[in-house]
Amino acid sequence: MVFGELPDLPYLPELPDRGVGADMVGRTASLLVELPVEVQPSGWRLTDRPGRDVRRARDHLARDLDALEEIAHGYAGRFKVQVCGPWTLAGAIELRYGDKMLADPGAVRDLTDSLAEGLKAHIAGVRARLPGAEILVQIDEPGLPGVLAGTVPTASGFGRLAAVEPPVAAERLRAVLPPETFTIVHCCAPGLPFELLRTVGAGGISLDASLLRRRDEDRIGEAIEAGTAFFLGVVPGTDTPLQDLDVIARPAVELWRRLGFNPSRLAEQVVLTPSCGLAAASPPYARAALARCREAARVLRDDPEDRR
């Protein structure tokens, strides 16, 4: 489905309904180096040695990569993989005896280093299967705004973990970004820290376009001026009647017009996407949503001035 509907930017899908280890946190946790985890009633937690939960997660990923190699044999072009970012991961995984990893700066540092090493190996594995592809990496950080605002609950749920200072958040996130690889940071939560993401060196920012606010537009403009690509979520991630192409493309076109950028750059720096993941969508809707994003992108190649 992905290669059929998105031939210019296919990606490795995540299918969390398969169970433990197929979810965003579990799949990325299976990439961690020397930081084994397991599932407890409260969620993922560090453990002394890898167990069946990690093996299941690695099996899911291995089967997906086998299928990818078969379907994409000989593919040459851009190909995207995605992993859970360090701050969202730190807010989801618990220490062996205590609170979430986010509560311990040393644990966060260890997690970041482990993730960076595991992601490097994952990219190498994908490149070995798709030697002609240019690998793009998406870092999913839906928890980042909460980390910065100090709203992440403790493991008990009765308190909130202390806010992380933006320079510290930027340093740890920057450490995960693979060198010489185009990287996109995705966040579908309100309060996206545009300035932080611009400074960490991400090549692209992915967000839900419905969450854009006028007060953010100066920072968005600065990021665009610096060459950052924007992946704007303009199609709902769950089954709903799909709108006309002009309506879907309108948030991107109007944002570009308000910021005063040259219309010729619109299609070069903006990609239209679903607002967030399609895991809750039916297969027919997922196919239709991907197709509609691809079709609406043609609107961006037209001169926006012609539609005034």
Q: How far is the C-alpha of 2 from the C-alpha of 75, rounded, in Å? A: 13
Distant-in-sequence, close-in-space partners of 90: CB < 8 Å, separation ≥ 6: 100, 101, 102, 107, 108, 111, 147
Tokens of 198: 């611009």
Identify the three-state secondary structure at position 262: coil
The per-residue pLDDT for range 199-212, each reduced to its tens digit, is 898 999 999 999 99
State the pLDDT at residue 42.
Answer: 86
State the pLDDT at residue 79.
Answer: 97
pLDDT tier, 150 (very low <50, low <70, confident <90, very high otherwise) = very high
pTM of the prediction?
A: 0.94
Average pLDDT over residues 221-237: 94
Statement: residue 307 has pLDDT above 60: no
**Cα-based torsion angle of the residue sequence 41, 59, 30, 277 in order, rounded to the nearest 10 degrees:** -80
State the pLDDT at residue 76.
Answer: 94
Whether the Cβ atoms of residue 45 and residue 26 lie closer than 8 Å to each other: no
Average pLDDT over residues 276-299: 93
State the pLDDT at residue 128.
Answer: 94
Ranges of each domain in the chain: 1-182, 203-308
State the pLDDT at residue 26.
Answer: 94
Cα distances from 275 to residues 189, 215, 223, 238, in angstroms, run 10, 20, 20, 9
Statement: residue 302 has pLDDT above 90: no
| Greater model confidence, 187 or 308 | 187
State the pLDDT at residue 255.
Answer: 94
pLDDT tier, 308 (very low <50, low <70, confident <90, very high otherwise) = very low
The per-residue pLDDT for range 167-195, each reduced to its tens digit, is 999 999 999 999 989 999 999 999 999 98
State the pLDDT at residue 50.
Answer: 87
Statement: residue 56 has pLDDT above 60: yes
Statement: residue 303 has pLDDT above 80: no
Statement: residue 306 has pLDDT above 80: no
State the pLDDT at residue 44.
Answer: 94
Query: Which residues of 92-133 form beta strands (DSSP E)?
Result: none
